[in-house]
Amino acid sequence: MRIKTLSVSEVNGYIKKIFAGDLILNNLSVRGEISNLRLVTQRNAYFFSLKDSYSSIQCVMYLNAMESLNFIPADGMEITAHGKVALYEKNGSYSLNIDSMEPYGVGAYYIAFNTLKRKLETEGLFDRAHKRSIPQYPEKIGVITSINGAAVHDIIKVLSGRYPYVEVDILPITVQGDKAADEICRAFNAMNNMDDIDLIILARGGGSVEDLWPFNEEKVARAIYASRCPVISAVGHETDFTISDFVADARAATPTEAAAMAVPDRNALMENIEQYKTYLVRYMEDTIIRGERHLEFIVKSSPLSRPEMFFEKYDGKLNQLKQLLAYHMAQYINRKQMETQLLEKQLQTLNPLDVLKRGFAIIYSKDKGLISDAGKVQVNDEIMVRLHNGLINCRVEEVSGIE
């Protein structure tokens, strides 16, 4: 019996129903090695492949499930993942939708990683309050990395291309193996003894968990925390996280990104300078134009065309002040004249000559001393009598008292 012809959508829908009804495909545990782990922010999920020596399967794990993990997945890690197989009808592809996973084979590393991470986090080594800002225009950058790896060449290339004015001091170290952690610590001690270092980049390329492990050592974390100047950690690939990343002041996904974070882009700076220059030129031109217009307005204004306008209001005020001054002066003179006349009358009243006109006289002795007591005059004394209009010389014939 021939089955009717189906559309592509019908075929994919049929297969999807089969997947959805299969008990094994809906409760599946798969062991394999993570490959090409990447975050797709638009989907809020991580996409990667699980592979073995012969095959691979596409996987997806959403962020809410990823956040519940007690370890950090990375490329090259062998894991056991649990989930269900689902078909994407649009292109007929299927993937394993993972709801949980655990490390396989390298679990000891991740137990140690999370134990140290919790310890340092409790001590506050990861706190934002301790994070220092990256200097905007560093003059000298210290780079701690392998001299033979691609990381150092990527860093130098980006630094010289973006900001060739910065000086770079490279301290070569071993970035993997038993001696690597001690060499990293010694490199930080050396950098801290250099007063002119503004920023340190700690970098290495990607690798396995074992290769990256020196950057998960406690001594390295404390060396970064104690650094005199800010530190950018650029260890591994974008999906790799180490303890160094959490302690450092900034984390870069790659050494190339670390170099880009460390210095400004001179082309962008030049563009900004040109924009500021254009703005200043336009601002000055506008200022000059406004000044010219204002000056033209002033020149054409009535005060400058008829300068006497500046003084007219002052002339009127000056005339008012003159009149007011004349009035107050006249009032003052009148008051003083009245006061003088009053004093003259008072003085006239006290004038002894006016008293003499009423019949009184003043008597002087021969030596012109004033006689006011009859007891001081004797018979035959020569005296002078002063009237209001003359003097009379007399001789005393008799002195008698008055009761």
Distance from C-alpha of 226 to C-alpha of 159, rounded to nearest angstrom? 25
pLDDT digits 0-9 by tens, 48-71: 999 888 899 999 999 989 888 877
Segment 276-282 shows an average pLDDT of 92
Cα 142–143–148 angle (5° rounding)?
A: 150
Taking alpha carbons only, the member of 112, 53, 103 closest to residue 78 is 103
> Do 20 and 70 belong together in one domain?
yes
> Do 260 and 154 belong together in one domain?
yes
Measured CA to CA in angstroms, residue 91 lies from 8, 10, 13, 154, 366 at distances of 10, 12, 11, 38, 160
Distance from C-alpha of 123 to C-alpha of 114, rounded to nearest angstrom? 14
29 pLDDT band (50/70/90 cuts)?
A: very high
Asked whether the predicted pLDDT for residue 92 surpasses 70, the reply is yes
> Do 13 and 86 belong together in one domain?
yes
Q: What is the domain-level CATH number for residue 26? A: 2.40.50.140
β-sheet bridge partners, residue 46: 39, 61
Taking alpha carbons only, the member of 90, 97, 107, 17 closest to residue 57 is 97
Domain of 340 in residue numbering reads as 305-348
Half-sphere exposure for 71 (CA within 13 Å, toward CB):
20
Tally Cβ neighbours within 10 Å of residue 381: 14
pLDDT digits 0-9 by tens, 335-393: 989 989 888 888 877 777 777 777 788 888 878 788 888 778 888 888 888 887 888 88
Helix, coil or strand: residue 184: helix
**Which residue is it, tokens 């180490």?**
242
Tokens of 131: 């994070």
> Do 38 and 87 belong together in one domain?
yes
Measured CA to CA in angstroms, residue 285 lies from 100, 101, 187, 240, 278 at distances of 66, 67, 55, 54, 11
> Do 210 and 309 belong together in one domain?
no
Residue type, 23: L
Asked whether the predicted pLDDT for residue 2 surpasses 80, the reply is no
Asked whether the predicted pLDDT for residue 228 surpasses 90, the reply is yes
> Do 370 and 389 belong together in one domain?
yes
> Do 344 and 377 belong together in one domain?
no
Cα 15–19–25 angle (5° rounding)?
A: 150
Chain centroid to CA 334 = 74
Q: Can you say whether the dihedral through the CA atoms of 123, 127, 130, 131 is positive or negative?
A: positive
> Percent of the chain scored above 70 by pLDDT?
95
- What total of structural domains would you count in the chain? 5
Residue 3 belongs to some domain of the structure: no
Identify the domain boundary among 82, 105, 128: 105
Average pLDDT over the chain reads 87
Residue type, 118: R
pLDDT at position 302 is: 60
Identify the domain boundary among 60, 85, 105: 105
Asked whether the predicted pLDDT for residue 160 surpasses 80, the reply is yes
Which range, of 115-124, 244-253, 301-310, 352-361, averages the lowest pLDDT? 301-310
pLDDT at position 381 is: 83
Residue 83 belongs to some domain of the structure: yes
> Do 257 and 150 belong together in one domain?
yes
Higher-confidence position of 387 and 119: 119
